[in-house]
Amino acid sequence: MKRLIILSILLATVLTAGSKVAIVMKTKGDVKLIPAGTKLVKPLKRGAGLVNEDVIRTGKDGFAVAMYLDDKTTIKVRNDAEFLIGGEKTAEGIIKRVSLSYGTMMASVAKQKGKEFIIATPTSVASVKGTEIIIISDPVYGDLFITLIGSIVVTNNSTGKSTTVNEGETANSTPDGSLNVTVTEESDIPDFGEEGGEGPEQHELRFEIEDENGNIKTIVIQYR
């Protein structure tokens, strides 16, 4: 318990010290980072800090987990996916927005203190206040929003039609404007529990932060 408290304190320190809004908690296989505002593609490793509008891309065998620094909201993404992680710092925390270009993602969202966590795809927008959901997005065929815990509101970009998707339900939103909700079949829920990751037995996170004077410092967090 003490180690978890220390980890939380250190994460809070990192949040106030630099521009980072999230940290990469796990990677497996081919995982790339496209830094915000660039076209540079480089390998992404566990412990890397993420800033607003960084893009993560996973290859055929890729898997990644990113965690927001203010409340431990967690994003897991499977292979063959690409998403942008957005975060605007405020006095109350980070206003979060994720854009999933394609692929399969799970979001475990902490209660957002009156703010909404927005997840956007080429077809839809989901508003989340605190829940656990899975999104499967394909720019051609559309989206599936599977609510595991809590509820979300999904809006189709083509028609502006919105619907609430409660626990145990799945919304299907398509580019032609269709938006339907059905009962979730257990066989339709992708598995995120056995993806493994880089260094599961290691207990050290390293990442860089930039202070207000432009100096780069390396932060090392050791935990169990």
Least confident of 74-83, 88-97, 152-161: 88-97
Q: Which residue type is seen at 70? A: D
The more confident residue out of 93 and 32 is 32
**66 neighbors 25 (Cβ within 8 angstroms):** yes
Average pLDDT over residues 173-181: 97
**Residue 54 clears pLDDT 90, i.e. is over it:** yes
DSSP line for the chain: -HHHHHHHHHHHHHHHHSS--EEEEEEESSEEEE-TT----EE--TT-EE-TTEEEEE-TT-EEEEEETTT--EEEE-SSEEEEEEEEEETTEEEEEEEEEEEEEEEEEPP-TT--EEEE-SSEEEEESSEEEEEEEETTTEEEEEEEESEEEEEETTT--EEEEETTEEEEE-TTS-EEEEEPPGGGSPP-TT---S-TT--EEEEEEE-TTS-EEEEEEE--
- Tens of pLDDT along 133-152? 999 999 999 999 999 999 99
Q: How many residues does the chain have?
A: 224
pLDDT given at position 170: 97
Average pLDDT over residues 161-186: 97
**45 neighbors 66 (Cβ within 8 angstroms):** no
Q: Is the alpha carbon torsion for 133, 135, 78, 99 positive or negative? A: negative
**61 neighbors 77 (Cβ within 8 angstroms):** no
Average pLDDT over residues 59-69: 95
The more confident residue out of 112 and 125 is 125
- The tokens describing 223, both together, are 């935990």
Taking the model in full, what pTM does it have? 0.81
Q: How many CB atoms lie within 10 A of CB 41?
A: 12
**What CA–CA distance (Å, rounded) separates 78 from 127?**
21
**Residue 93 clears pLDDT 60, i.e. is over it:** yes
Torsion from C-alpha of 28, 50, 109, 202, nearest 10 degrees: 40
Please report which confidence band the pLDDT of residue 200 belongs to, taking 50, 70 and 90 as the band edges.
very low
Mean model confidence pLDDT for the chain: 85
Most confident of 79-93, 112-126, 159-173, 184-198: 159-173
**What CA–CA distance (Å, rounded) separates 65 from 67?**
7
The more confident residue out of 130 and 207 is 130
Pairing relation of β-strands 124-128 and 204-210? unpaired
pLDDT given at position 66: 96
pLDDT given at position 124: 98
Average pLDDT over residues 119-144: 96
